[in-house]
Structure 1
Amino acid sequence: MRILVAEDHRILLESISMLLSSIDGIEVVGKYTNGRQVLTALEVEKGIDLVVSDLQMPVMGGIELTLQIRAHFPDVKICLLTVADQPEAIKEALRAGADGYVLKSAEREDLETALKTICEGRKFYSDAVLMQLAHDPVQELNPAVDKPQKITITQRELEVLKLIAQEFSGTQIAEKLFISPTTVETHRKHLMQKLGTQTTIGLVKYAIKFQLI
């Protein structure tokens, strides 16, 4: 796994790079202090699998870098490693297309799991990040159905909900549950209807809030 690291604080940049380099299978190819430098490096360095970036940096921060990578280097994954735990910052990163969002307070094992999960083609948001979304006062759920006792979720729907919350794709969920991708999407639609949300974040927030996962 070939990685570029972006962090504007040089001591942290060196520390993060050393930590990542100590993980089996990871090679830190370049270290940069802003997103613009990362984009320049991606033009030159081929075969980069992943960018690990801070959220707030001068010249170009993590959100803009994410948007640029999605637009110009769609095969490159990006994980934001940051102290920003505000729900709005997290949701902005999700909308931009970040593959992962990990807080700098996370354990080494969490970061290692995040990188491996992302490179397997799935998204990763640490437990602390999901809890921030779950406790976001700006509710995405329909207040009329925002109580578990008012909703009947089947065992199969619960299984699908748990896998959705773990960021498995529809195809991967189908394989795990031995059902068709079409059936997975039907369960997803039913869950969204029952829970009164139109987004995956809404499903995850509900699942965490009522301890379904």
Structure 2
Amino acid sequence: MRVLIAEDHRILLDSLAMLLSSIDGVEVVSKHTNGKQVLTALEIEPGIDLVVSDLQMPIMGGIELTLQLRERFPHVKICLLTVADQPEAIKEALRAGADGYVLKSAERSELETALTMVVKGHKYYSEQVLMKLAQDTSLEFTPATERPQRIAITQRELDVLKLIAQEYSGTQIAEKLFISPTTVETHRKHLMQKLGVQTTIGLVKYALKFQLV
């Protein structure tokens, strides 16, 4: 896993570089203090898998960097590592196309899990991030009914929903339920259709609303 880091605080930048370099399989290729430097580095450095970026930086922050990556380097994943836990900041990052959103209060093990999942093509959002979104009343949430028992949800779909709400990835759910990742994704799509939600966040909000976890 070849990684670029963007963080405008030098001490944090050096500390993060040391931390990531200590993870098996991670190579920190270069360190930068803003998103513009990252884009310049990507133009000359081939084979970058992931960018780990702060959200707020001078010249170019994490949101603009995410938008630029999606347009110019769509194969490069980006995980935002930030102190910003406000719902608006999180939603803006999701809309921009961030692959991961992790708070700087996270443990090393969570950061390692997040980077591994993101590089494999999964999305990763910290549990605190999901909770912030679930508690945000301005986030659109229109379940098909106010009573979950009225919806024809199968037991297997309910099992999948509970694990989604507990922040398990599709692969992890597949392993726990002894089914294929493709089947997990099918259940996820069926749940979204039945519950009238458009995103995984909507599924999490539904599970929390009806105390399924």
Aligning the two structures, in what range does the TM-score lie when normalised by the shorter sequence? 0.7 to 0.9
2:104 corresponding residue in structure 1: 104
TM-score by length of 1: 0.85
Q: Mean Cα displacement is larger for which, 106-115 or 137-146?
A: 137-146
Which contiguous aligned blocks of 4+ residues in structure 1 show a shift greater than 6 angstroms? none
Distance change in 2, residues 1:209/1:17 (3 Å): farther
Residue 194 to residue 76, structure 1, CA distance change in 2 (3 Å): same
Matched with 1:137 is 137
Using the alignment, how far apart are the partners of 1:179 and 1:36 within structure 2? 37
Where does residue 118 of structure 2 map in the other structure?
118
- 1:177 corresponds in structure 2 to 179
Tell me which residue corresponds to 1:27.
Answer: 27
Aligned-partner SS, 1:145 = coil
- How far did residue 167 of structure 1 move? 4.5
Cα deviation digits, residues 73-127 of structure 1 (max 9, x gap):
1111100000011112111111111111000011111101111111222111111
Report how far residue 36 of structure 1 moved. 0.3
Distance 1:202 1:134 in 2: 8
Residues 36 and 59 in structure 1, CA contact (< 8 A), matched pair in contact too = yes
Q: What CA distance in whole angstroms lies between the structure 1 residues aligned with 2:182 and 2:97?
A: 26
What is the DSSP-based 3-state SS (H/G/I as helix, E as strand, rest coil) of the residue aligned with 1:177?
Answer: coil
Match of 2:51 in 1: 51
Separation in structure 1 between the aligned mates of residue 190 and residue 15 of structure 2, nearest angstrom? 46
Query: Paired residue for 2:192?
Result: 192
Q: Deviation per CA, 1:9-46, whole angstroms, max 9, x where unpaired?
A: 11111111111111111111111010000000000111
State the match for 1:168 in structure 2: 170
Residue 5 of structure 1 is matched in structure 2 by 5
AA of the residue aligned to 1:80: L
CA RMSD, aligned part only?
2.6
Partner of 1:88: 88
Structure 2: which 5+ residue stretches go unaligned?
A: none
Structure 1: which 5+ residue stretches go unaligned? Answer: none
Contact 2:13 2:31 in 1 (8 A): yes
Distance 1:194 1:116 in 2: 31
Paired amino acid for 2:20: L
The one-character-per-residue Cα deviations of 1:170-192 (angstroms, maximum 9, x if unpaired) are: xx79x9525966x954x445423
SS at match of 1:16: helix
Q: For 2:10 and 2:182, locate their aligned partners in 1 and report how far apart those are by CA, in whole Å.
A: 49
Contact kept, 8 Å, 2:170 with 2:181, in 1: the verdict is no
Residue in structure 1 matched with residue 78 of structure 2 by the alignment: 78
Aligned partner of 1:120: which letter? K
Distance between the aligned counterparts of 2:208 and 2:119, measured in 1? 25
For 2:10, the aligned partner's letter is R
Amino acid at match of 1:50: L
Q: One-letter code of the match for 2:41?
A: A
